[in-house]
Chain A
Amino acid sequence: MTAHPGLIVTRGGRTARITIGVIIMAALLLAATPAVLGIGASGRAVALLVYILLAVMWNALAGFAGLVSIGQTLFFGMAAYTTIRFADAGLDPYLAILLSIALGALLGWIVSLFMLSLSGGEFAIGMWVLSSLAHLSVNLDPLIKGETGTSLISLNAYDIATRSALTLWLALAITLVVFVTLVALLRSKTGAAITAIRDDEIGARSIGVDVMRTKRVVFVLAATGTAAAGALWLASATNFQPRAFFGIQWTAYMLFMVLVGGLGRIEGAIIGAVLFFLIETYFGAFGAWYVIGLGLVAVLFALLLPKGLWGWIGPRLPGEAIPTGYLVEKSRS
């Protein structure tokens, strides 16, 4: 980039360095969970990572590409199902998980070929139709036996302490890889296109941004990350019941995390996921009332604070916490 006289262009800074420190600390803490807090806590740690994955991916889709999908359970459920299938065929369960994530990316690419020409509500429910179709088809599989489901039995090859630690470390590694990929993508040339589309799709098109290609990149990444979340959730829960993976409640959770945290900001999605994790831990036992509360809060945020919590916190910080844009200052000289 050529320097412009009188202007200083930076990205990052002190806020970003602190954020990186916080993220590394959090990752180290999570990695130490099995040794420090035991098996039960590592299960919860996997749940937290799955929520973060789901929120960051749904936010990338809705916030950056402008695509609200209420059927991301397509990738979540299918990844769990293919993991079961691969494991049943004799593959090591952890290899099965990795293979399922790759298949999720492939499925995302295939789906993007026709779904991305829909927009707004048509895309939103269209994805749900696909998810429902996948759910019904999985139910037909004799291994799954309708809603009875089955388990990832081959995990028993590892003793319980080993497998809970392995699952957590795998979840942590995958979450970090997905996170770094997303940030790198947003800082690249494609990222500039994504931000342009987020701010004004028609305007972006008019200055030569390939909107379809850019949306496809985000969509496939979101499909991959959501598939990873599904496979990890299965590794943690071990039981596969189709309804528990394809159910619409997952969409409600993603919506809550992203709307409360802040649509269009990675920091917001992470905050939303952590908040959701805490709320679920303390109020999850209230059943339907708990879901009603989540829905109400999400609607109120959509109407009153559409930029979410990060929309309030972000501007009050010096610089960006996760720097994806540029800061332009006038130089003093």
Chain B
Amino acid sequence: MTSLIINAFLLAGYYAVLATGLAFMYSVMNIINLAHGALIVLAGYGLYVLGNDLNLPFPVAIAIMMAAMFLLGVVLHRAVLARAYGGGELLPLLATFGISIVLDNLMFQTFGADNLSLAPLVGDLSWASFELPGSIFVGKISVYILVTAIVVIGLIELLLRRTALGHRIQATSQDRATAALLGIDTGRTAAIATGIALATGVVAAAALGLRSAWGPYGGSAILLFAFEAVVIGGTGSLWRVLAGAIVLAFAQSLGALVHPQGFLIGGHLAFLVAVFVRLRGGRISLARLFGKEARA
């Protein structure tokens, strides 16, 4: 039981890493990037090529990929999102969904259907574990991922609240026209924010590749987990993503206890409950669900 709880917390760290970029883009630009999962998988292949084919040390590979994904984010914003943003709220959804379809299949054509893993790049670390009292063993990588999630969320929150760039991003997200009036280059700010979101995807890709193996079509599962964590947690602060990820991980673990194939179903049900609860302003009531207000 104890190990189940500990493992659920560690899994939550992984989901939080996956969800941070998605939540960041959603909260600062009101765009749900449907290519989020596919871009994380792309970053995973990038890390694999740099680390495995070019034999670069893992931290160097991460640094290079973060720079590359930041640039890709700026390009993505300039070429697609900024254009789509002007055409109403549907177009960014349609465009990013189209991009995810293209990326999934391009990666399939380039890297084949085999599942890859980044574990060989970090040697012993991939199977090393900490021993807790009561002979409970937890994988070091899972612990590091949870710590990384907290650090990444903390850094982004610090950036948003304490730096000039963060203030510009917040101003742009709240009211583009007014921000532009105040002399903020909103296009540039939004492009930088997209770049940051994609750069955090490299951390997510590293977590993905170190925990397990992935294939070219893995992006949709990642998008679903990330989205569920974001919706369960709610918007407002990135810390809520961590809370959402914890709920998601526990729901999945519970689902797996109930039925061998109940892992994903548990997570989906937690998402539905979260939607219900939010719909009722925090209160669950069947009468209100059918439009009949409870009598005061």
A interface vs B, CB < 8 Å? 62, 66, 68, 70, 113-115, 117-118, 120-122, 124-126, 128-130, 132-133, 136-137, 139-140, 248, 251-252, 255, 259, 263, 288-289, 291-292, 294-296, 298-299, 302-303, 306
Residues on the B chain within 8 Å of A118, using CB: 275
Give the 9 A-B residue pairs with the shortest CB-CB distance, closest first.
A121-B32, A295-B101, A299-B98, A295-B102, A133-B268, A288-B105, A298-B98, A302-B95, A292-B105
Q: Which of B91, B97, B108, B279 contacts A288 (CB 8 A)?
A: B108
Q: Which of A62, A66, A124, A251 contacts B32 (CB 8 A)?
A: A124
B263 to chain A, nearest CB (A): 9
Identify which of residues 82-128 in chain B touch chain A, using a CB-to-CB cut-off of 8 Å.
83-84, 87, 89-91, 93-95, 97-99, 101-102, 105-106, 108-109
Say whether, besides A121-B34, A255-B97, A306 and B91 are in contact (CB < 8 Å): yes
A sample of 5 inter-chain contacts (CB < 8 A) reads A113-B289, A121-B31, A255-B98, A298-B101, A299-B99
* Number of CB contacts from chain A to chain B under 8 A: 119
Please tell me if the beta carbons of B98 and A302 are within 8 angstroms of each other in the complex: yes
Residues on the A chain within 8 Å of B90, using CB: 62, 66, 68, 263
Asked if B15 CB lies within 8 Å of chain A CBs, one says: no
Main secondary structure of the interface of A (DSSP, over half): helix
Q: Which of B80, B101, B290 contacts A113 (CB 8 A)?
A: B290
Please tell me if the beta carbons of B289 and A114 are within 8 angstroms of each other in the complex: yes
Please tell me if the beta carbons of A132 and B32 are within 8 angstroms of each other in the complex: no
Of the listed residues A66, A121, A299, the one surrounded by the most CB atoms of chain B closer than 10 A to its CB is A121
Please tell me if the beta carbons of B105 and A291 are within 8 angstroms of each other in the complex: yes
B interface vs A, CB < 8 Å? 26, 30-32, 34, 80, 83-84, 87, 89-91, 93-95, 97-99, 101-102, 105-106, 108-109, 220, 223-224, 227-228, 231, 259, 261, 264-265, 268-269, 271-272, 275-276, 279, 289-290
Please tell me if the beta carbons of A124 and B34 are within 8 angstroms of each other in the complex: yes
Please tell me if the beta carbons of A68 and B93 are within 8 angstroms of each other in the complex: yes
Residues on the B chain within 8 Å of A298, using CB: 94, 98, 101
Residues on the A chain within 8 Å of B279, using CB: 114, 117
Please tell me if the beta carbons of A129 and B34 are within 8 angstroms of each other in the complex: no
